[in-house]
A = this chain, B = another copy of it.
Amino acid sequence: MSKPLILVSNDDGISSRGIRVLVELMSQIGEVIVVAPDSPQSGMGHAITVGNTLRLDKTDIFGSVSAYKCSGTPADCVKLAKHHLLKSGKPDLVVSGINHGSNTSISVLYSGTMSAAIEGAIEGLPAVGFSLCDYSSEADFSHVGEYVKKIAQEILTRGLPKGVALNVNIPPKQHENIKGIKVCRQARAKWEEHFDVRRDPTGRKYFWMTGNFVNFDKGEDNDEWVIANNYVSVVPCQYDLTAHHAISILNDEWEF
């Protein structure tokens, strides 16, 4: 039986530690091709490159593993892999990450990591994004392998419902004794932004966006609760933004 073909991407850029860990893990279970941004693309959401050109260059950064760096966004990387590099075949699995930092709750919308996975799902491919809930540049990835490989294997064995990509968040290493994996929903929460106003050397104002994460969710079936209670969170995600419950409300109450 031939090895599964696994497409690896991320949003922290091809030279980040997280993608190196992911490439090593995926090489243990399949044939890997990497197409990842040539520079950090955190917070890029589901951006694509419109009205501008793209570069795609082969790199030996991962030794014998086939790898390409791309000037575009994570979603661009998946599109280029699927429609240009792999025209004749298609990957059996799209994996993205491992992100340096959490992508729980509302952050899934802003996450470049998850946009690569969701782009995979749009293309009809089984897909998953992995994030480590540790923003430190020194973050310890040594505990993630067990969960990342288990989830990737499970997807390869059982497949995923059509149009679904998984958003996986892993507690930091410091939280010893991770209790297991829990499937859950996206927590209701948001970022409460604060803008730090500064002056550049010419006296002109500029801003740094900072913010606090505010969790409104009192439930226990959401990714924030799951991570806080030391489980790996798995949220199945889809890309139909329709608020189906609101259609009948608008049809009943509105006067067009």
Which A residues form the contact surface with B (CB < 8 A)?
40, 42-51, 53-56, 75-76, 79-80, 82-84, 106, 108-110, 115, 118, 122-123, 150, 154, 158, 160-161, 163-164, 167, 180-181, 183-186, 188, 190, 192-195, 197-198, 204-209, 234-247, 249-251, 253-256
**Can you list 12 pairs linking A and B with CB atoms under 8 Å apart?**
A42-B50, A44-B45, A44-B47, A46-B110, A47-B47, A56-B207, A80-B195, A84-B207, A122-B190, A160-B246, A183-B254, A236-B242
What residues of chain B lie closer than 8 Å to A51, measured between beta carbons?
Answer: 40, 42-43
Return chain B residues, CB-CB under 8 Å to A43: 47-51
Tell whether, in the assembled complex, residue B206 and residue A55 are in contact, meaning their CB atoms are under 8 Å apart: yes
* Contact between A194 and B83, CB atoms less than 8 A apart: yes
Contacts of A83 in B (CB 8 A): 192-195
Known: A50-B110, A53-B206; 18 extra A-B contacts, CB below 8 A, are A43-B50, A44-B45, A48-B209, A54-B195, A54-B206, A55-B207, A79-B193, A84-B207, A109-B118, A118-B241, A122-B190, A154-B254, A181-B256, A183-B247, A183-B250, A183-B251, A186-B241, A237-B242
Q: Do A180 and B256 form a contact, CB below 8 Å, given A161-B249, A236-B242, A240-B185?
A: yes
Chain B CB within 10 Å, residue with most, of A204, A205, A234, A250: A250
Main secondary structure of the interface of A (DSSP, over half): mixed
> How far is it, in angstroms, between the C-alpha of A76 and the C-alpha of B193 when the chains are bound?
10
Please tell me how many copies of the chain the complex holds: 2
Which residues does chain B contribute within 8 Å of A50, judged by CB atoms?
Answer: 42-43, 110, 209
Which of A122, A180, A243 lies at the interface centre, i.e. has the most chain B CB atoms within 10 A of its CB? A243
Question: CA separation between A246 and B126, bound complex, in Å?
Answer: 13
Q: Let me know if B184 and A247 touch, CB within 8 A.
A: yes
Q: For A195, what are the chain B residues with a Cβ–Cβ distance below 8 Å?
A: 54, 80, 83-84
Bound complex: CA of A196 vs CA of B155, how far in Å? 33
What residues on B are CB-neighbors of A180 within 8 Å?
256
Task: Using CB atoms, name the residue of chain B closest to A208.
Answer: B53
Provide the bound-state CA to CA distance between A154 and B256, in Å. 9
- Contact across chains for B46 and A243 when beta carbons are under 8 A apart: no
* A256 to B234 CA separation, bound complex (whole angstroms): 11
